[in-house]
Structure 1
Amino acid sequence: MKKTIRAFAPATVANVSCGFDILGFAIDELGDQVEVSLSETPGLKVVKIEGDGGRLPYEAEKNTCTVAIQAMLDHLGFTKGMEISLYKGLPLGSGMGSSAASAAAALVAANALLGYPFDKKQLVNFAIEAERIACGAAHADNVAPSLLGGFVLIRDYEPLDVIKLPVPKGLYCTLLHPHLELNTSDSRSVLRTQISLKDSTIQSGNIAGLIAGLFQEDYNLISRSLKDVIAEPTRALLIPGFYELREAIQTIGALGSGISGSGPTIFTLSPSQAIAKEVGSAGKEVFKKIGLDVDVYISEVNDRGAYVI
């Protein structure tokens, strides 16, 4: 019998408002599963994909699972074969780290199959190669929290420097996923290529304030810092209902909201589960009025990350 390992990796919220390409956190329950088996035939082969509606590629050089595993195997000098089955639990183009979850689950399964030659932080280096294939940029703000769990800061990329941050107790996230698809490449194309010194200063202060708020478990500081003056002003124009939702939750007690990754999913952080549920109800009403179906997910921040099932 073939030795087989199956792993799960969670959905993620990247950017977290002010932390464009450098901050992200993981979500509970939502995610992808990947099964990896050793094979007598050299090379990597995708043998099954479920839950994607037939849209994801089986070619090893195009699939995020195999691209990530191949990067790891090249580093090890491993030449034997593997077969990969992907079970999608995340919608494509949702802004919830769909490609990252696939890559993270694949790496955790393959790493376990080979006897754990790498820890999960080391696996981030291989996972970002899959992101390069998926969206044209080797960013780690989805793959790092999907692998490690919790809040993660990407301090630098050359070399990659990943720092796991504390998660305040009782912090909840509401994700509202309107039924429309927004490709990361399209969302990145509307970004400004230059920003003013003023905006850079404001954004730096908000990033520092958000990280300080996480360490101090200061919800008021977190709330004041959840502001993005660089990416959100242009990306929000691509997401119907974004500003209407923000207005609707002002009096509920949520800490703040923003675009999850490149969108169209919108995230809101709340200091309790009850407030997070109120946000979800308000969001349903907003999207109902503009004629869009919406999925609502309520979750604590997942501090575990990807794991072998």
Structure 2
Amino acid sequence: MERMARMAAKSRTAVAPCSTANLGPGYDVFGLALDALKDKVVIKASSTAGDRKITIKSSDQAIPAVAESNSAGLVVKSMMRDFHIGDDIEVQVTKGVPAGYGIGSSAASAAAAAIAFNALYNLKIDRNRLVEYAAEGEIASAGIKHYDNVSASLLGGFVIGSKGQFIRIEPPRDLFLVVAVPLSMQVPEKKTEVARSILPKDVPLKSVVHNVSGAATIVAGFALKDVEMIARGIDDVIVEPVRKHLIPGYDSVKQNAMSAGALAVTISGAGPSMIAFLKTCKNANMVAAAMAKGFEEAGVKSRTFVCRPSSGARLA
């Protein structure tokens, strides 16, 4: 592929929101962008062709400084390769989304990197193809490309995603969410890979039927703008029963949130964060306090966020 455009500016900046994936039965398919937290990525390029060096900079010492191990760096490397861009590139990552807690940290950086790089070189890549590039960044954390978080973070709203096809549905205006992030909990390195490794290899047909029914109900709920219908579909009998044992206080957090008025509660992505779905913000603070108490009872300190769906990544 030929290089399509000259660099229009020396740097471009983009921000991308955190996200939740799966929503219960929609494993590796459903994603929902959240307006709680965001990452910022600045892409800077040399004015003359260099040796295609990618430098990663971040104030967060936990962020990998090698492009091949960094979600934003992998995205940039892939786009440079495909568009034959030979400049030296500097990638500045400002993390607002904590890594390893199931709210799309790597996806936010990857989505922001794709948006910024596309703008820097005026590549005019459509958003669906940008999701494909952003998914390259998930290899850094999950070991494989997957689309649920990156599609939501980049496109915004509720997204049904698989390779080459991403269906975006605008969420209901009355959908509110509470995310509880157990920040004092030690999460393993490559946590997403660990969370995938424990999943069952064989699943009973009745469990598959149950989850397919729930997933269809969730899609119908988003399409019809019916929060209560969405909540009725959030019941996973395949992945969540296995992963819940990785989350101290899971049962208390879920029960407390439901008792406080949440319509549904599930693990956010691969966890350990948990997310509650509400039709009104009136009792959102009560739900947040109840979830925090559930983690506290298990000896875990958490931070809660009351939020709404986000419109996705954008240039800053």
Alignment match of 1:71 (pick from 69, 74, 78): 78
Q: Deviations over 1:226-273 (max 9, x none)?
A: 100111000001001111111112233322011111000001111111
Instruction: State yes or no: 1:42 paired with 2:51.
Output: yes
- Partners of 1:228 and 1:147 lie apart in 2 by 25
Q: Is the 8 A contact 2:18 2:97 kept in 1?
A: yes
Amino acid of the structure 2 residue aligned with 1:208: A
- Partners of 2:267 and 2:287 lie apart in 1 by 15
- Partners of 1:145 and 1:42 lie apart in 2 by 34
Partner of 1:276: 284
Shift of 1:298: 0.9
SS in 2 for 1:91: coil
Identity rate, percent: 33
SS in 2 for 1:92: coil
SS in 1 for 2:18: strand
SS in 2 for 1:176: strand
Q: Is the 8 A contact 1:220 1:255 kept in 2?
A: yes
Partner of 2:62: 55
Shift of 1:42: 2.9
- Partners of 2:131 and 2:79 lie apart in 1 by 10
Partner of 1:193: 201
Partner of 1:218: 226
Partner of 1:163: 167
Instruction: State yes or no: 1:91 paired with 2:98.
Output: yes
| Structure 2 unpaired stretches of 5+ | 1-8
Q: How does 1:88-167 map to 2 (within 5 A)?
A: 88-154=95-161, 156-157=162-163, 160-167=164-171
Partner of 1:251: 259
Partner of 2:12: 5
Between 1:249-258 and 1:4-13, the stretch displaced more is 249-258
Instruction: State yes or no: 1:28 paired with 2:32.
Output: no
- Partners of 1:284 and 1:63 lie apart in 2 by 31
TM-score by length of 1: 0.94
SS in 2 for 1:18: coil
Q: Is the 8 A contact 2:36 2:308 kept in 1?
A: no
- Partners of 2:123 and 2:284 lie apart in 1 by 38
SS in 2 for 1:278: helix
Alignment match of 1:82 (pick from 80, 86, 89): 89
Q: Deviations over 1:65-123 (max 9, x none)?
A: 11111212222222222211111111111111111111111111111111142122210
| Structure 1 unpaired stretches of 5+ | none
- Partners of 2:283 and 2:194 lie apart in 1 by 33
Question: Cα RMSD over matched residues?
Answer: 1.4
- Partners of 2:295 and 2:210 lie apart in 1 by 31
Give every structure 1 segment of 4 or more consecutive aligned residues whose post-TM-superposition deviation is greater than 4 Å: none
Partner of 1:240: 248
Partner of 1:172: 176
TM-score by length of 2: 0.92
SS in 2 for 1:25: strand
1:125 to 1:47, Cα distance in 2 relative to 1, 3 A: closer
Instruction: State yes or no: 1:18 paired with 2:22.
Output: no
SS in 1 for 2:16: strand
Shift of 1:47: 4.3
Shift of 1:294: 0.4
Amino acid of the structure 2 residue aligned with 1:28: D
SS in 2 for 1:33: strand
- Partners of 1:84 and 1:69 lie apart in 2 by 8
Q: Is the 8 A contact 2:57 2:90 kept in 1?
A: no
SS in 2 for 1:128: helix
Q: Is the 8 A contact 1:44 1:70 kept in 2?
A: no
